[in-house]
Structure 1
Amino acid sequence: MADVKLRLAERAADLIGSIIDSSTSLLARQTHDIVRFAMGAPSDDLMPVELLDRYAAYTVPGKYGYGSTEGEPDLVEEVLKIQAEQNYSSSADRITITTGGMQGLDLACKLFIDPGDLVIVEGPTYTNGNATALSYGAALLEAPLDEDGLVVEALPDLVARAGRPPKVIYTIPNFQNPSGVTLSSHRREQLLELAARWGSVIIDDDPYGLLRFENSPIPALNEIDPGNAHIFSVRTFSKILAPGLRVGWVDADPSLRPLLINAKQAMDTCTSVPAQRTVADFLAGGNLQPHLDRVVGLYRERKQAMRVALERHFGDAVRATDPDGGFFLWVTFTDSEVDTDALFEVALAEGVAYIPGSAFSTNGHFRDALRLCFATSTPDRIDEGILRLKRAVDKAGGSR
């Protein structure tokens, strides 16, 4: 067959893959035992599999037909109950059910980002969030993080140097991916003030907020400023229940609902009705809080096990964050010779997988860091994985 040169759209050059999602296929091809710290997902034993299977088997009229694009009314009602329990009272005209949190991010970027628009992102931040903004032509401006989340105080200087205000500010306020840090209450208020000054939309991406296992909750942006039209909240059941359900939601100003419906109809018509029904019935059965009560203690145990293992096997050769919830530790090597991109293949051969730090930066930063997910492994397995990581570092002997 003769070579064919296809005329691609200009945006095709800005479509970048996800090293996180690609790791699923990569690990499936391995034939040796691997401790899997790469994917950010609960392990099978922490998903309410038996209950989800039971509710999935329910016979409901219309279950396998098309549903309303905005979502099944019963599920919307359950989502509103969840938010009310989190001290944020919303309304049905603000909720649109999505096919996972990723579709919520895509809808936000589709509605707000034109090619060339300035978008502030955290550095480091969720790889797929950056990729989605780039697919719509965003000019990304990476802002620093510290132990209190996005360094909001740094934003005015960054914006001044950029010469224009951001159209969008993308933040993961709770147990941030990949760092695990949480945006402080004071900085949340500052962020709302800056967004109002600049006319910026805040994409509030919070997959992990219900998975707090230490300290007291911090008020959500919508709780601090209810009804603020500049807050576009993205949520998902992927981390709370099971990622394969592909069910999430967005909470946005009611004026956006018709546009969200139009945009979603051009994507998938509606989120899977069987999956929505399963989640709605699970929630209506009063199962969410007992499930959370069970898993958050185990996540705490696994986080602590990972920090202990890092101390045991690495000592002061690494610094690790200490999150109050979520799935991740962000580990930075104090030896500048360690390059986690180059280390990856050595570590995989040793039987441990992680995500290199550079995957979470638009500029290839953080090559001395990596993300470890503690949610997927038992404490004994975590210790074994950290031991294998130490063997890989020793074998690589500094790979920068």
Structure 2
Amino acid sequence: MPATTIPLAHRATDLVGSVIDSSTSLLARQTHDVVRFAMGAPGDDLIPVEMFDRYLGELSPGRYGYGATEGEPELIEQVLALTHGRGVASSADRITITTGGMQGLDLAGKLFLDPGDLVIVEGPTYTNGNSTALSYGARLLEAPLDENGLVVERLEELVARAGRTPKAIYTIPTFQNPSGATLSRARRERLLDLADRWGAVIIDDDPYGMLRFEGEEVPGFAQIAPNHPLVFSVRTFSKILAPGLRVGWVDADPALRPLLINAKQAMDTCTGVPAQRMVTRFLADDHLDAHLARIARLYRTRKDAMRHSLRRHFGERVRGTDPDGGFFLWLTFAGAWAELDTRRLFEPALRHGVAFIPGPAFSATGSFANALRLCFATSSPERIEEGVVRLRRAAEEVLAGRDRTRPPRVSN
């Protein structure tokens, strides 16, 4: 039989996998104990499992049928109540329920990006956000971050150097993934001005905004510029309730809703109705505020535990961020350890029983080789201490040259 060439589409070569999502499969194959700092997910002990199980066990006609593509009307009503309660003006014709936040990002790519379009992204930023833009043929322009989020003051210079204006600006403005930084109000206002000047869409990806455990709230884009047509807001219940539900939403200009429905109908027809109804019940029964208060307390305890453990076991060899909410610490090796490549550290650390995500996974340019992301949300303080001890052992092994593992290829 002659060899057959499979006729792939040109875009297939631009499909980039996720190091983060791949870690789920990798960890499932491990037979030894692993402290899981890799995935950004709430700990199992923080998911209201019993309540969801009870909701799922109650009879509900139509629960297993198809739903409206734009989402169950009752859930849209609850999302609006949640949105209004946070001081954001919205309306039902702005809301489309999605299958998790990732579908919101994919819908943004479908609607706004043509091959060759320029997209400003944060460096570092969420791996899957970069991957989504690349899958639509976009060119990524990486812009720096500092403790106040995206350095908006640099964007004009970077765009001038690129020789053309961006079609979109992808930002995670609050408790950014992976750095934990929050974009200041002044920078949000300036970014809105630049979006207006360039005619660029701000893809406002905010999964963590409701997970503040200290500090003062920073007004979001929708509070600063209500119903701005160039702000495309992506939200999800994955980080505040349970990732496996795969329920999120998009808040966007009403003119986009027919296009969002058309695009979503070509993906999955509708977001799973049972999950939508479970989330609806949880919100309608008024459980969210108490749930958020509980997990915020625990996340602060876990963040503090991780920072203390890192200080105790690494000292001045690392610099770590100190977020006011969210899930993550961004760790950069410093001093005599500044040349430690976290891609080389990954496999020895896994053998020692701790998982993390190497820094280059979060970069469009493969930067941040001496950095890594740690999730504090998943583990108890005791497990965090054990994980940091294991990470120190693995780092010492690599630095001493006892490990000969070649750095794995990290897609970005």
TM-score category, normalised to shorter length: over 0.9
Give 2:61's aligned residue: 61
Q: What SS is found at the alignment partner of 2:291?
A: helix
CA distance, structure 2, for counterparts of residue 143 and residue 230 of structure 1: 20
2:349 is paired with a residue whose SS is: helix
1:337 aligns with 2:334: no
Runs in 1 of length 4+ with deviation above 4 angstroms? none
Partner SS for 1:219: coil
Question: How far off is 1:55 after superposition?
Answer: 1.4
CA distance in structure 2 between the aligned counterparts of 1:71 and 1:3, rounded to whole angstroms: 46
Q: Pick the aligned partner of 1:348 from 336, 339, 350.
A: 350
Displacement, 1:398?
6.3
User: Distance in 2 between the 1:384 and 1:349 partners?
Assistant: 14
Aligned to 1:132: 132
Report the AA paired with residue 336 of structure 1.
Answer: A
Partner SS for 1:141:
strand
Q: Spell out the pairing of 1:202-241 with structure 2 (5 A cutoff).
A: 202-241=202-241
| Contact 1:35 1:385 (8 Å CA) reproduced | yes
Structure 1 unaligned residues grouped into runs of 5+: none
How far, CA to CA, are the matches of 1:398 and 1:93 in structure 2?
60
The answer to whether the aligner puts 1:255 opposite 2:225 as a matched pair is no
TM-score normalised over the length of structure 2: 0.96
Aligned to 2:364, which of 362, 365, 384?
362
Q: What residue is the counterpart of 1:383 in the other structure? A: 385
Q: Is the Cα–Cα contact under 8 Å of residues 359 and 373 in structure 2 kept in the other structure?
A: yes
Q: 2:89–2:227: 8 Å Cα contact kept in structure 1?
A: no
Q: Distance in 2 between matches of 1:353 and 1:67?
A: 38
* 2:129 maps to amino acid: G
Matched with 1:277 is: 277
CA distance in 2, matches of 1:271, 1:116: 30
Counterparts of 1:377 and 1:281, CA distance in 2: 28
Q: Give the structure 1 partner of residue 398 of structure 2.
A: 396
What is aligned with 1:72? Answer: 72
**How many positions carry a matched residue from both structures?**
400
**Distance (whole Å) between structure 1 residues aligned to residue 249 and residue 333 of structure 2:** 37
Counterpart amino acid of residue 179 in structure 1:
S
Q: What residue is the counterpart of 1:372 in the other structure?
A: 374
Q: Which residue identity is paired with 1:394?
A: E
Q: Shift of residue 216 of structure 1?
A: 1.3
Q: Aligned equivalents of 2:326 and 2:176: distance in 1?
A: 8
The percent of aligned pairs where both chains have the same amino acid is 70
Once residues 213 and 75 of structure 1 are traced to their aligned partners in structure 2, the CA distance between those partners, rounded to angstroms, is 26
Q: Does 1:4 align with 2:18?
A: no
* Cα displacement string for residues 72-130 of structure 1 (whole angstroms, at most 9, x for unaligned residues): 00000000011111100210000000000000000001000000000000000000000
Deviations 1:217-238, CA, capped at 9 Å, x for gaps = 1101011000100000000000
Deviation at 1:5, TM superposition (A): 1.4
Once the two structures are superposed, residues 193-228 of structure 1 have per-residue CA deviations (whole angstroms, 9 ceiling, x without a partner) of 110111100000000000000111110101100010
The root-mean-square deviation of aligned C-alpha atoms, in Å, is: 1.0
- Counterparts of 1:77-96 in structure 2 under 5 Å? 77-96=77-96
Matched position secondary structure for 1:145: strand
TM-score by length of 1: 0.99
Distance of 1:238 and 1:204 partners within structure 2: 16
CA contact (8 A) 1:357 1:366 kept: yes
Tell me by how many angstroms 1:336 deviates.
Answer: 2.3
Instruction: Give the distance between the partners of 1:375 and 1:3, measured in 2 at CA.
Output: 50
